[in-house]
Amino acid sequence: MADASYCRIAPGGLRPPLAYARLIGAIVVMVLPSSPWLRAADTVRTSKGPITGKIESVGKLEIRVERSAGKVESYHANEVQYVSFDGEPPKLNLARTAAIAGRCEEALRLLADLGAPLPDRKELKDDLEYYQAMCTAKLALAGAGDLGDAVRRMRAFVQTHPESHHYFAACELLGDLFAAVRSYPNALEQYTFVEQAPWPDYKMRGAVSRGRVQLAQQNFDAALAAFASVIALADQNKGDLVEAQRVAAVLGKAEALAGKGNYDEAVSLLEGVMSAADPENAELHAHAYVVLGNCLKKADRKRAALLAYLHVDVLYDSFPEWHAIALENLAELWTAAGEPKRAAEALAVLDERYKSRARKTP
């Protein structure tokens, strides 16, 4: 039988069970400051799911996270989708979500007015600076911002944050900006940095971008070599990220072939990509129809090219990069077809939605 004295009031007025509870509470308070897994935690969202703990270090190749019982785990930077930090203002998470979803104007508004002070953590402030530069860059590339300002911001980030887990993505974006202002040697330098990443998908991304710069310079043999290197890497590696770059390389190869006059082979490649593509992959179809239009235009099949670009204008206008290119070509082709009113309509949309591109359009 239980000792009856256990239920009596103990000296000092506390029942023993309550005294034990107070003791346990005191122990927890003593442990909390030295136990990151018992505190509110940082979150590293990877392609395989969220990881919670205390970020120990951030580098361009990996993020190290202290998890339970002092165990430290490492995650490759190319697997990291985003990082959220303990104690960050709620608006920062909203801004990050908007930036990743491509709602860059909304993200910049939120970042400009977070409504609360930031924790004094370098990696958090670095993250904030990246998203500001990234959104500025993407808006400029879409024709809704100043390319010169975007170049300055992204170049400053790359130069001052060489160990950020965003480093390779930032180099790629900076290369895209340089390509947009036709500073091709600088663009190629940035894409070379991307190719130096240790992961196949990033090596492929760098080579695809390098091939596109060669296309812009009409150096079709060099472009074909770049795209061939990507396709060869894809044959040796698997995964969704690798497959996306393989398809991008095939699209680039088709455009390079058209540049060399091999129109039938180019169109055959494009038809193969489009027939095999998931119908729900709208961005891929937008890209493919633009490349198809480019190939048909070079082959002097202007009516067929016009129809290809119209697909983008009617069905895939939510992808600024490809929609703007389609509108530029539609304006030209409608004029050639004796349809000045429709050409003017295409230019009006281009001017309204992609102002910086419209100013460069003859």
Strand partners, 104: none
Give the Cα separation of 327 and 310 in Å (integer).
Answer: 8
**Which amino acid, residue 115?**
G
261: region left, alpha or beta (phi > 0 left; psi from -120 to 50 alpha): left
Torsion of CA 75, 32, 90, 46, to 10 degrees: 10
> What's the pLDDT score for residue 354?
84
Contact status, residue 204 vs residue 245, Cβ threshold 8 Å: yes
- Greatest alpha-carbon pair distance for the chain in Å reads 104
Would you report the helix, strand and coil content of the chain in percent, each value rounded to 5?
70, 10, 25
Between CA 264 and CA 308 the distance in angstroms is 16
Looking at the domain covering 285-362, what would its CATH class be? mainly alpha
Which value, to the nearest 10 degrees, does the dihedral of the CA atoms of residues 123, 125, 126, 127 take? 90
Per run of 10 residues, the mean pLDDT along the chain (length 362 residues) is: 40 46 43 43 92 94 90 94 94 95 95 90 94 96 91 97 96 97 97 96 96 96 97 90 92 95 95 92 94 94 96 94 94 96 95 67 34
Q: From CA 264, how far away is CA 249, in angstroms rounded? A: 18
H helices within 196-219, ranges in order? 200-216
Place of tokens 């090596």: 203
- Whose tokens are 């992961």? That residue is 199
Q: Which letter, b or e, does each residue of 40-51 get, where b requires 16 or more Cβ atoms within 10 Å of its Cβ?
A: ebbbbbbeeeeb
Q: Give the orientation angle of helix 104-112 with respect to helix 122-141, to 10 degrees.
A: 140
What is the pLDDT, as a whole number, of residue 146? Answer: 92
d(C-alpha 287, C-alpha 283), whole Å: 6
Pairwise CA distance, residues 203 & 9, whole Å: 73
In whole angstroms, what is the distance from residue 57 CA to residue 89 CA?
21
Task: Name the β-bridge partners of 80.
Answer: 46
Residue 150's identity, in one-letter code, is A
Q: Quick one: which of 199, 197, 258 has its CA closest to 227?
A: 258
Q: Supply the pTM of this predicted model.
A: 0.81
